[in-house]
Amino acid sequence: RSTVFATIQRQVMATTIPPLRSRRVAVIGAGAAGLVAARELRREGHRVVVFERGDQVGGTWVYTSEVESDPIGIDPNRAVVHSSLYQSLRTNLPREVMGFRDYPFVRREVKGRDSRRFPGHKEVLMYLQDFTSAFEIAELVRFESEVVFAGLAESGKWRVRSITKGGVTVDEIYDAVVVCNGHYTQPHIADIPGITAWPGKQMHGHNYRTPDPFRDQVVVLIGNAASAVDISRDIATVAKEVHIAARSVEDNKLGKLPGHDNMWLHSMIDSALEDGRVVFRGGNAVCADVILHCTGYKYNFPFLQTDGTITVEDNCVGPLYKHVFPPELAPWLSFVGLPWKVVPFPLCEHQSKWIAGILSNRIALPSKEEMVEDVKAFYSSLEAFGIPKRYAHNIGPVQWDYNDWIADQCGFPVIEEWRKEMYKAASKNRTIRPESYRDEWEDHELILQAQEDFSNTAS
Ligand code: FAD
């Protein structure tokens, strides 16, 4: 009897835990998401090729003074510049919070490095370069190779077509594709009644680099997210006037900004007029030289061919199970880094571990039907709360639960308590000290906890 039992047990084991598999995986993009995806996929035993259209790793963090020919980025024939960084950019997260979980973003007290807690963009690029070297990821990357097509091949596998800078087309078949192409490149523009007759200049924050072109100008800047706040302050150092048009500002905050003699806060723009005036809701108007749209970005996957299985509607990429897998094509197609208002590096790290474990059969995904139901329930909950679909990937308020859920799937420790607390403290500090939060803070105790944790990671 015991032999029969052992045989049955072996059969059950064989059906419920399929053997681990190594897949051939194409990763599109070598920014933070693609780098950590490549590391996790290789760690899991997959064979990975990372396609990167640029000539180095780092994605967004590769600053360039270059801008696009169309300053608002709507000309489909313009040559695309990937990064949206401006010269003065410093991180809006403390480095302890921002870094990958098992490769902390610690200070390097050496010449040429920026040891500030909220460092400039170059330091982030150097950190990503260090990460690439530490895990020998560059050997997986094909630089100057742009993916122009990724779609299902007849075999049920994925065809990936790329073009090198020299114009050579390469056509290949992969088991799986992981999309890591970033989502801060394709500008979203505000809709302004009357704008076509307005005689001024328009630009999107994507093409903002330095304040110099705005010297002595009257600028209307639309937006109040992190980069809008930075850019308005940057421009105010040289401009005649900066008028910020922002959604959801309390009435008592409208008017001149305290501490600045040439900045005003307004409600949203009502219209732009032929005589050069920009009219705000409530009736105020200014005669402006420039309207600067700091109004966010659109998801864009020009290379992806899924015959309508995946769509971007109202800037919601879907249907996606947990913002990663399209139920219909899972696990062979996945997306890393779509959520916003989050701490991106650790989030990408979690998603990548999950994808890698699922592709090898170490971690199980629910059935297609269950995933479809989950996505439906998610969309219904957005609707029930009156949240437009374009906020579907804004998971800020639940990002830690989200990370912890994935960590649990992967058998990885949940997010450190200090990281959550520090994120909260940094957000609060930014509200209290919008001008100086990067250089003044009070969460010293949390910094010590993080450093203690990092010293354990290193040992
Ligand atoms: P990206 O870094 O954009 O990388 C995508 C890569 O894909 C690029 O290298 C691109 O060349 C490549 N690619 C695209 N299409 C193709 C193709 N078809 N073929 C081949 N390669 C392709 N995050 C923080 O944590 N802290 C901050 O302080 C912070 N500040 C920010 C400030 C600004 C102005 C912006 C825009 C973003 C900021 N972020 C910040 C978010 C930042 O985007 C993420 O930190 C992170 O860089 C996202 O990485 P990613 O790999 O998803 O995308």
User: Could you give the angle at the alpha carbon of 226 between the alpha carbons of 252 and 87, nearest 5°?
Assistant: 130
Query: Average pLDDT of the chain?
Result: 94
Is 132 a pocket residue for ligand 1 (Cβ < 6 Å)? no
Q: Which residues pair with 334 in a beta bridge?
A: 178
Q: What confidence tier does 8 reach under pLDDT thresholds 50, 70, 90?
A: very low
Residues 153-192, buried b or exposed e (16+ Cβ, 10 A)?
eeeebbbbbbbeeeeeeeeeebbbbbbbbbbbbbbbbbeb
Identity of residue 435: E
Ligand 1 pocket, mutate which of 86, 181, 303 (most atoms under 8 A from CB): 181
The candidate with the shortest Cα–Cα distance to 180, out of 296, 97, 286, 57, is 57
Q: Which atom of ligand 1 is least distant from the CA of 182?
A: 53
pLDDT in tens, 24-71: 999 999 999 999 999 999 999 999 999 999 999 999 999 999 999 999
Sole residue written with tokens 């990936």: 160
pLDDT of residue 16: 53
Alpha helices by DSSP H, listed for 225-343, are: 226-236
The candidate with the shortest Cα–Cα distance to 227, out of 181, 280, 315, 295, is 295
Asked whether 28 and 178 are in contact (CB, 8 A), the reply is yes
Is the per-residue pLDDT at 6 higher than 70? Answer: no
The rounded Å distance from CA 375 to ligand 1 centre is 26
Is 345 a pocket residue for ligand 1 (Cβ < 6 Å)? yes
| Token pair of 394 as six digits | 């804004």
Q: Which atom of ligand 1 is least distant from the CA of 91?
A: 28
Rounded to two decimals, what is the model's pTM? 0.95
Sole residue written with tokens 């260090």: 130
| Token pair of 19 as six digits | 């053997």
Is 229 a pocket residue for ligand 1 (Cβ < 6 Å)? no
| Token pair of 50 as six digits | 């990372």
Q: What confidence tier does 155 reach under pLDDT thresholds 50, 70, 90?
A: confident
CA distance 80 to 408: 39
> Do the interacting molecules here have an ipTM over 0.85?
yes
Tell me what the mean pLDDT of segment 307-321 comes to. Answer: 96
Handedness of CA 202, 203, 205, 206 (dihedral sign): positive
HSE of 420 in the Cβ direction (CA atoms, 13 Å)?
Answer: 13
Q: What confidence tier does 416 reach under pLDDT thresholds 50, 70, 90?
A: very high
Ligand 1 pocket, mutate which of 49, 52, 53, 60 (most atoms under 8 A from CB): 60
Which residue has the CA at smallest separation from atom 42 of ligand 1? 60
Identity of residue 310: I
